[in-house]
Structure 1
Amino acid sequence: MDKSRKKFVDVIDKATVDGSSLHCDERLFTYKGILYPVTLCSPETFKALESFEARSDDIILAGYPKSGTNWVSQILNDLIAISEKKTPGTESGVNNEELEEFPYLEVGDPEKYERMTRLPSPRFIVTHLRPENLPKSIFKSKAKILLLIRNPKDIAASFYHFSNRLAIFPSYETWDDFFVAFMTKKMTWGCYLEYLSKWNKYADEKNVMPITYEELKEDPVLGVKNIAAFFGISLTEEQLQLVVERSSFQSMKKNSQKTHGAFGNAFFRKGGVSDWKNLFSEDQNEKMDKAFEEHVGGTKLGRKLKYEVYCKA
């Protein structure tokens, strides 16, 4: 296991062990009106994050939990490795060696950002945060942001199963209990529909590229090509195929214990589209449809999600 993956596994393992000793009600804290897991984040870290200095060549992946950030992280790590003339899978593409940091910007101790100043460029950064909660330097620097979004019904279905498998989050006795929490803004990292609405304000920025989980599933070759082009990374046909193969769900699930430790199966459960149909009732469908329309109906991100295609029973 290379150092980048070991760091990821160590952080998740510790957070899960610490969370298992807490009651469900103790696993979250509120910061500026949004809930976060106490074993991953802290108010002190958020305060320190405000002074984080982004670089113009930082490579940033923004996505709500369960939108596919682990999947697209694999793609980006391989693309960065190729840009540095390395072979994907032979060594960590970014944030290498002793300076390794957990890639999620808001996860870790307050001293993390000082250590990140010593990381070589390009730094690979992942975040679940809304844009207004990111440090101002990210937008001032014009660093490129890949904005990953997914249809809200599959987000909810995936998050429900995920929450019940990792003690980092509160668990739910029934899907109905989870759905109420999801629709009443009681979710970790906040309400997803509000997240979409907030990010929609940045959807037309030149340094922001929205991409959907579904379009990557439909045509992974085109998706990887577009991501590489956005970040200015040249690929041969052979390199393109390698990145696509290594980031397939089958490949990532097979290697999940190496890359994500004991909880690999929780991170890579099904990796499909429309699993929401196994959970949503007719009433729940109607409530989600109405809420989606109220928050992002008619917006650029709302249209990009093809709600009529992916979220109608």
Structure 2
Amino acid sequence: MKSQKSYTEQLKDVKEVFQRFTLKPVEGVPLMKPIADNWEKVASFRAHPNDLLIATYPKAGTTWIQEMVDLILNNGDAEKCQRAPIPERIPFLEIFSSPTIPSGVELLEQTPSPRVIKTHLPLQLVPQSFWEQRCKVIYVARNAKDNLVSYFHFDRMNQTQPEPGPWSGYITKFMKGELSWGSWYDHVKGYWQEREKRGILYLFYEEMKQNPRQEIVRVMNYLGQSLPDDIIEKIVELTSFKSMKSNPMANYTFFPDFIFDHKVSPFMRKGEVGDWKNHFSEEESAIFDAHYAEQMKGSDIPFKTVI
């Protein structure tokens, strides 16, 4: 670590470093400029064989699956899983550093194995060492419309991402893949197409909402863990939206408002399936659906927009 201060204290020290960064492409994928400028450190990251990679497109249930995994690996011990803010427990691989806060790569280099690692990178940008070491990978996908809505509100409150602009224009940027971490379509299809070859556990946000116990058991089995029913039920409760929204180590209220402004929109806003109906007009929905059909032609990914 660059400092002996707590993670939260370190964040408060670097207000002048944070701003709404511009995007810069890496192999055609737009990333925040500080990530792109330090790309070589990410690309050359050395994975360990027992690393677990959690991959998602932004706002597809990332924090939810992180908390599930942490609880499964810690036998449902809620107190142990509140040992630190979630970015410290499960470092964000590609995130950039500041004068006092280590980058994701730096933090991971100091994290003992076995490590759990978060990324939003599309499959083609994941460091090759993860595939060479045959690491386990959990991917969570969320239906495009709800993902778009959640990302829009996130970009409103996240003071490090580009200004989202008006809702109507944001839809266009999403469809064109002009947001941080690029095209949703390429992202979900990339991991889906490689899931069997690379042994990826591919989960759906909507299934996690519909039957959380079932999906927790799937993750548990994938990780080679075995927990009794009462612990599984405890994990179901601890990872409910209500519980996580009030969990200070998971709800990102530990980020100061010059990074995440919760007065604009809470990090954990609704966590629903079908909220897109409250945002898309009939015309916007029709345009989006036509574009979606074209982009997903030939794909058999079984997304649900309602449950």
AA matched with 2:37: P
Normalized against structure 1, the TM-score is what?
A: 0.81
| Residues 56 and 141 of structure 1: CA distance in aligned 2, closer, same or farther (over 3 Å) | same
SS in 2 for 1:267: coil
Distance 1:248 1:128 in 2: 22
1:168 aligns with 2:160: yes
AA matched with 1:28: L
**For residue 24 of structure 2, what is the aligned residue in structure 1?**
29
1:218 aligns with 2:210: yes
1:102 and 1:108 in contact (8 A); partners too: no
Normalized against structure 2, the TM-score is what?
A: 0.83
SS in 2 for 1:285: helix
User: 1:144 pairs with 106, 113, 136, which one?
Assistant: 136
| Residues 89 and 57 of structure 1: CA distance in aligned 2, closer, same or farther (over 3 Å) | same
SS in 2 for 1:280: coil
SS in 2 for 1:195: helix
Structure 2 portions without partners, runs of 5+:
1-5
Question: CA offsets per residue over residues 245-294 of structure 1, 9 Å max, x none?
Answer: 11110011122477512546622000111111111122322332233333
1:11 and 1:102 in contact (8 A); partners too: no
Q: CA deviation at 1:59?
A: 1.3
| Residues 91 and 35 of structure 1: CA distance in aligned 2, closer, same or farther (over 3 Å) | same
User: 1:49 pairs with 39, 42, 45, which one?
Assistant: 42
Question: CA offsets per residue over residues 199-237 of structure 1, 9 Å max, x none?
Answer: 222122362011000000001111111111111111111
User: 1:74 pairs with 64, 67, 90, which one?
Assistant: 67
Distance 1:135 1:145 in 2: 13
Question: CA offsets per residue over residues 45-78 of structure 1, 9 Å max, x none?
Answer: x211222121221111110000010111111111
AA matched with 1:37: M
**For residue 294 of structure 2, what is the aligned residue in structure 1?**
294
**For residue 284 of structure 2, what is the aligned residue in structure 1?**
284
SS in 2 for 1:147: strand
Q: Which one is further off, 272-281 or 116-125?
A: 116-125
Q: How does 1:110-149 map to 2 (within 5 A)?
A: 113=105, 116-149=108-141
Structure 1 portions without partners, runs of 5+:
1-5
Q: CA deviation at 1:195?
A: 1.1
Q: How does 1:241-256 map to 2 (within 5 A)?
A: 241-256=233-248
Distance 2:57 2:9 in 1: 22
Distance 2:278 2:15 in 1: 27
Q: How does 1:10-25 map to 2 (within 5 A)?
A: 18-20=17-19, 22=20
Distance 1:214 1:106 in 2: 27
Distance 2:245 2:122 in 1: 28
1:101 and 1:116 in contact (8 A); partners too: no
**For residue 104 of structure 1, what is the aligned residue in structure 2?**
92
Distance 1:150 1:222 in 2: 17
Percent identical: 27
1:78 and 1:89 in contact (8 A); partners too: no
How many pairs are equivalent? 289
| Residues 273 and 11 of structure 1: CA distance in aligned 2, closer, same or farther (over 3 Å) | farther
**For residue 3 of structure 2, what is the aligned residue in structure 1?**
none
AA matched with 2:184: Y
AA matched with 2:25: T
Distance 2:140 2:150 in 1: 15
AA matched with 1:201: Q
Q: CA deviation at 1:13?
A: 6.3
